[in-house]
A and B are shown apart, each in its own frame.
Chain A
Amino acid sequence: MKRFKSTFAALALGTAIALTGIASSDFSFIATAQAAPSKAADLRLALNELLSEHVTLAAAATQAALRGRKSEFEAAAGALDMNSQDIAGAIGSVYGKDAGDAFLPLWRKHIGFFVDYTTGKATGSKKKQDKAVKDLLQYATDFGAFLNSATPALPRDAVADLVKMHIVSLKDVVDAQAARDYKLAFEKIRAASHHMQMIADPLADAIAAQFPDKFAAK
């Protein structure tokens, strides 16, 4: 059901992109993406890899944190931050270094909120968990606004909805890990990882449409 909802949201985003910013004649990027190998396809692949890796590393970090394995947590958190820097680098390569520099602290912020949520689970503090969820939901709007600013064809609220689903999907992972329900935890990790495609694909397509010269076929 959640998978369906994610797919629906991504389709809604795709439709919104079509309705809000991109004239029908501008859909040449689709043909470009199909004519693999192309830079547009490379971009889509890179974003999918980076965002999927984000989920995997975040789940490794939360699991280590919940079990109090400090050195493992620090290593996972370090790898997760390298992934964050790579994502910011990708953003910077498209929108400019300043945009990448502005994106990195924004992206790191949501990881901090997840650390708060995980700490709340580990300590049994419902108040801390609720605060973290509230911060994460506000963050989703910020993230939507950032991408809308960078690529006006990406509607803020549609992006925010997809990010909210990302937040819920990772929260499900942490909840299952905290409950030591590992079968469920890995199912949720897979679901959260797959969901990132719902963000990466429309983002890559919108960027390719916005910068046709940059993402033309090789």
Chain B
Amino acid sequence: MTLGVALGVFGAAIAAGLGGCGSALGMKYAGEAAAGVLSEDPNKFGPCLVLQALPGTQGIYGLLIGFLVLNKAMGVTDWHTGLFLLATGLPIGLVGLISGMCQGRVAAAGVMLLGKRAGELAKGMILAAMVETYAVLALLMSFLMFNNI
């Protein structure tokens, strides 16, 4: 086991771990709001579930980068490459954490919107998707970094 491998694994841990945390927190906010709306009108389960699922993508992006980085880290021999892999995990890890949380807040607001106006699912979805843009960009950055190793 070399320092390079350890650093690379650390990068994978940051990507998958923080990304997952962001999604979990985001889904928590949206899910709590959804349960509140469902107590009034159980028929809105489908749309509420869609809104709750939206902040789930950060975790998947994190997992994706984490998996790629982990695969590569196992064959690393020098610590420079390891550090590079660690850096690769940072964008999606950090942005995934923050944007997941924030997207969850917006999705929760979308659920409230849905509670008052049944037909406005699309607007809630789009507002939440705006936040995700930055997770998408971070994923892109992480992926490009990974590809340039």
A binds B: no
Q: Which positions in A face B, CB cutoff 8 Å?
A: none
Q: Which positions in B face A, CB cutoff 8 Å?
A: none
